[in-house]
Amino acid sequence: MGRSGRSGLWLAYGYLHRLTVRASYRGLELGTKMISFAESYLLSKGKQGFRLDCVSHLPTLNQFYQRQGFLFVAKQDMGGRFVNLYEKRFM
């Protein structure tokens, strides 16, 4: 079943794709601020939560998302590249 068959599920959440902070700006909490801004936006749109996937081989990146309140849901094989799926529910 494709995305169209699960439209209610897909539309209920916001999805983060490729959040990056340039190395020279790291340590300024910009990633945290961008996630906070996105969460406020998603809440204003009545979304149930926030989802993302993150490469599983970078523990520091995974820990960052966990510190932001995202909970590990599952590990998924994306054709030889493993990602961890995370979710943060608002309601």
Say what the pLDDT of residue 60 is: 95
1-57 confidence digits (pLDDT tens):
344 445 666 789 999 999 999 999 999 999 999 999 999 999 999 999 999 999 999
- pLDDT band for 91, please (50, 70, 90 cuts): confident
Q: Give the C-alpha distances (Å, rounded to integers) separating 48 from 2, 3, 10, 59, 85.
A: 21, 18, 10, 27, 16
pLDDT at 65 over 70: yes
**Residue pointed to by tokens 């969460």:** 39
How far from the centroid of its chain's Cα atoms is residue 71's Cα?
Answer: 10
pTM, entire model: 0.85
Say what the pLDDT of residue 9 is: 67
